[in-house]
């Protein structure tokens, strides 16, 4: 195994080729950092440059990039996240996923901003990184083990203080909805876009980081004083509710407003059952603790325990809102301990709970409609509301057995393979399964899903909270927005996507917004940490640049207006409850493209590329 000593300075990119075992380090220049920041901005730039349009997402030529941002590893609230970027095997386009825990900080404190992995190891390996060395080590003894076991073994073998980003059997088996788990039994997933399979395709079981160097800060006193000013807000309001009841604090409200998916996005109400899955019910029943990512003052993470019943003894990171929506209400399952168990299995195998819930609820509908049979499921009665069916499907998907082989390809491919009208109820955009927020309940969210660069996503614009009770003064929205109003929503999505592109590049947690850490505090933190003097216009323009860069990558993959859409059920079926008629997406898109400076086909114009300094990425 090749080993090396890292330089010890910040601002480096670490390149590892697993085919050759070669490791090299390059400087991250300030010019590049100012233009692309870090995280997904830097990741998108590297992905674009390091791969061709035709690269097979599961081939050795795809690169898997882990990137932190300028504020990662500092004391700034919730700044410890990292972004993983690669061409997605699930969607075939730009793939990214953000992750919390301690991995980002420990990687950054090893002296790097980004890690770029290419090639494929001959046999299973893991990578070890700290400020002293980079090692590629044999991982044969870990292959076939789940993410909890793997993390546990690595901690025992190396040190309790490590953080490990690991894949489970799903990633090893190249399941296209597999994820990477970064905090062992507490979960924290690089969830979306099937990036676990990219890691598996490289025979890479784990990336262990254990850096302890202090991250240099240009204006430390100003960081401290801004932190102090904001702190009270991080411990009140929505932030406080999330601390107490986790991300499912608003579960019942989501059911009321039609935000919650029910029965594969078909049914309108599920009032009594929703109460059984709320964060409040969790707190009253199975909750035994909280989990905080590094530098977090909120602590949305849950720790739950089954005191009795079929899962007695299970103690585990508890299900988040998304997981409860996708494995729960969307499958008509109201069994909280059962969902926690299913969540545990997904985390152990390394499966994205959102996509997994999406394909299983789809499969339940296909079974209900007679499009797949008990023969296809190897005897599983894939009925609505069945925890047992849910759990058996998770096993089949991760192990690529029975119909799990097909479902693990994602809902788009599964529906196409099943054929006929199955495509009508396959709920995805650009091949990525919907997360648990219904665009029929919130107009901006519809446009956000349609135009998100990684496919259907609530995080790339994060509009859903701000169309329902939360205001955002320093982006120009002092009052909460009317969720059914169409006017002005294209501009709102445009602004939010630009801001979120910055947050995903900085890289910090989006929940800080609930504590009032929005445009100005983020810009100040960035300037204080780096010593830059970016003004508000430049800050948002940089987000716009990053958003456009990802779009340009997708244009190179063949994406255009035709793909900026929503599935037939979402466009045509009124499910009732708190949802309302869908806004006319095409008209919103026209306005949105104009704001973006894209042409009628959704392709950035040369003028826009010139303005953003992206001419070298013209891909059409």
Residues that bind a copy of itself (CB under 8 A): 419-421, 423-425, 555, 558, 560-562, 568, 571-573, 584, 586, 589-590, 600-603, 620
> In this complex, which beta carbon is closest to a copy of itself, that of residue 9 or of residue 601?
601
For 2-151, where are the E strands, in sequence order?
3-4, 12-17, 22-27, 64-67, 82-87, 94-99, 114-118, 125-129, 134-138
Question: What distance in Å separates the CA atoms of residue 474 and residue 472, rounded to the nearest whole number?
Answer: 6
Provide the minimum distance between the beta carbon of 482 and a copy of itself in the complex, in angstroms, as a whole number.
Answer: 21
Provide the minimum distance between the beta carbon of 600 and a copy of itself in the complex, in angstroms, as a whole number.
Answer: 6
> In this complex, which beta carbon is closest to a copy of itself, that of residue 76 or of residue 603?
603
* Contact partners, residue 534, CB within 8 Å, separation at least 6: 34, 523, 526, 527, 542
Closest by Cα among 396, 388, 401, 303 to 339: 388
Provide the minimum distance between the beta carbon of 620 and a copy of itself in the complex, in angstroms, as a whole number.
Answer: 6
> In this complex, which beta carbon is closest to a copy of itself, that of residue 517 or of residue 582?
582
Instruction: Say if CB 357 and CB 323 are below 8 A apart.
Output: yes
State the sign of the Cα–Cα–Cα–Cα dihedral 382, 384, 389, 394. Answer: positive
> In this complex, which beta carbon is closest to a copy of itself, that of residue 222 or of residue 424?
424
> In this complex, which beta carbon is closest to a copy of itself, that of residue 219 or of residue 573?
573
State the sign of the Cα–Cα–Cα–Cα dihedral 196, 200, 205, 206. Answer: negative
Provide the minimum distance between the beta carbon of 603 and a copy of itself in the complex, in angstroms, as a whole number.
Answer: 6
Provide the minimum distance between the beta carbon of 384 and a copy of itself in the complex, in angstroms, as a whole number.
Answer: 18
Taking residue 32's Cβ as centre, other Cβ atoms within 10 Å add up to: 18
Helix (H) or strand (E) holding 509: none
> In this complex, which beta carbon is closest to a copy of itself, that of residue 181 or of residue 447?
447
Closest by Cα among 478, 471, 483 to 447: 483
Instruction: Say if CB 449 and CB 439 are below 8 A apart.
Output: yes
* Contact partners, residue 93, CB within 8 Å, separation at least 6: 87, 430, 431, 453, 454, 455, 553, 554, 557, 559
> In this complex, which beta carbon is closest to a copy of itself, that of residue 95 or of residue 602?
602
> In this complex, which beta carbon is closest to a copy of itself, that of residue 390 or of residue 426?
426
Provide the minimum distance between the beta carbon of 385 and a copy of itself in the complex, in angstroms, as a whole number.
Answer: 22
* Contact partners, residue 147, CB within 8 Å, separation at least 6: 166, 167, 168, 181, 184, 347, 348, 349, 350
> In this complex, which beta carbon is closest to a copy of itself, that of residue 141 or of residue 620?
620
Provide the minimum distance between the beta carbon of 593 and a copy of itself in the complex, in angstroms, as a whole number.
Answer: 10
State the sign of the Cα–Cα–Cα–Cα dihedral 474, 477, 479, 482. Answer: negative
> In this complex, which beta carbon is closest to a copy of itself, that of residue 249 or of residue 411?
411
Question: What distance in Å separates the CA atoms of residue 495 and residue 488, rounded to the nearest whole number?
Answer: 11
Tokens standing for residue 179: 């994820």
Q: Whose structure tokens read 């107490």?
A: 244
Provide the minimum distance between the beta carbon of 467 and a copy of itself in the complex, in angstroms, as a whole number.
Answer: 22
Provide the minimum distance between the beta carbon of 604 and a copy of itself in the complex, in angstroms, as a whole number.
Answer: 12
Provide the minimum distance between the beta carbon of 450 and a copy of itself in the complex, in angstroms, as a whole number.
Answer: 13
């Amino acid at each position: 195994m090749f080993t090396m000593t890292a330089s010890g300075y910040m601002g480096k990119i670490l390149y590892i080729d697993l085919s050759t075992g070669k490791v090299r380090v390059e400087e991250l220049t300030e010019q590049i950092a100012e233009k692309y920041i870090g995280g997904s901005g830097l990741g998108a730039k590297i992905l674009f440059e390091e791969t061709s349009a035709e690269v097979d997402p599961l081939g050795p030529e795809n690169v898997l990039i882990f990137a932190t941002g300028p504020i990662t590893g500092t004391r700034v609230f919730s700044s410890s996240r990292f972004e993983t970027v690669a061409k997605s095997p699930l969607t075939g386009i730009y793939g990214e996923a953000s992750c919390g825990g301690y991995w980002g900080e420990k990687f950054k404190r090893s002296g790097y901003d980004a890690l770029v992995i290419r090639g494929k190891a001959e046999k299973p390996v893991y990578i070890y990184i700290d400020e002293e060395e980079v090692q590629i080590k044999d991982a044969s003894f870990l292959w076939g083990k789940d993410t909890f076991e793997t993390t546990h073994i690595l901690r025992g073998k190396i040190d309790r203080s490590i953080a490990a980003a690991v894949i489970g059997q799903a990633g090893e088996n190249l399941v296209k909805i597999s994820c990477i788990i970064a905090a062992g039994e507490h979960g924290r997933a690089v969830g979306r876009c099937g990036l676990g399979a990219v890691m598996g395709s490289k025979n890479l079981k784990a990336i262990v980081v254990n850096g302890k160097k202090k991250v240099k800060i240009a204006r430390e006193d100003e960081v401290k004083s801004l932190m102090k000013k904001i702190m009270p807000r991080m411990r009140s309001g929505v932030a406080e509710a999330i601390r107490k009841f986790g991300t499912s604090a608003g579960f019942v409200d989501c059911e009321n407003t039609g935000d919650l998916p029910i029965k594969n996005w078909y049914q309108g109400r599920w009032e009594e059952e929703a109460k059984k899955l709320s964060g409040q019910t969790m707190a009253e029943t199975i909750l035994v603790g909280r989990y905080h990512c590094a530098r977090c003052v909120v602590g949305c993470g849950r720790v739950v325990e089954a005191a009795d019943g079929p899962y007695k003894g299970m103690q585990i990171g508890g299900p988040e809102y998304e997981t409860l929506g996708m494995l729960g209400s969307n499958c008509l399952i109201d069994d909280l301990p059962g969902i926690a168990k299913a969540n545990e299995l997904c985390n152990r195998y390394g499966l994205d709970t959102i996509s997994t819930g999406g394909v299983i609820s789809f499969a339940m509908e296909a079974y209900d409609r007679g499009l797949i049979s008990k023969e296809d499921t190897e005897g599983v009665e894939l009925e609505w509301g069945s925890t047992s069916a849910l759990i058996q499907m998770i096993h089949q998907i991760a192990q690529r057995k029975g119909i799990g082989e097909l479902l693990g390809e994602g809902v788009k491919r599964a529906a196409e393979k099943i054929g006929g009208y199955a495509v009508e109820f396959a709920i995805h955009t650009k091949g990525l399964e919907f997360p648990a927020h219904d665009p029929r309940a919130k107009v901006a969210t519809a446009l956000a899903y349609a135009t998100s660069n990684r496919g259907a996503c609530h995080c790339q614009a994060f509009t859903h909270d701000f169309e329902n009770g939360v205001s955002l003064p320093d982006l120009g929205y002092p009052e909460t927005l009317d969720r059914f109003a169409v006017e002005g929503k294209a501009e709102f999505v445009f602004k939010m996507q630009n801001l979120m592109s910055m947050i995903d590049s900085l890289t910090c947690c989006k929940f800080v917004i609930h504590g009032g850490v929005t445009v100005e505090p983020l810009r100040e933190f960035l300037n204080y940490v780096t010593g830059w003097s970016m003004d508000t216009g430049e800050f948002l323009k940089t987000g716009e640049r990053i958003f456009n860069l990802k779009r340009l990558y997708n244009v190179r993959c063949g994406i255009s207006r035709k793909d900026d859409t929503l599935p037939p059920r979402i466009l045509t079926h009124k499910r009732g409850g708190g949802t309302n008629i869908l806004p006319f997406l095409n008209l919103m898109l026209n306005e949105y493209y104009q704001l973006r400076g894209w042409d009628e086909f959704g392709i950035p114009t040369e003028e826009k590329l010139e303005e953003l300094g992206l001419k070298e990425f013209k891909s059409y």
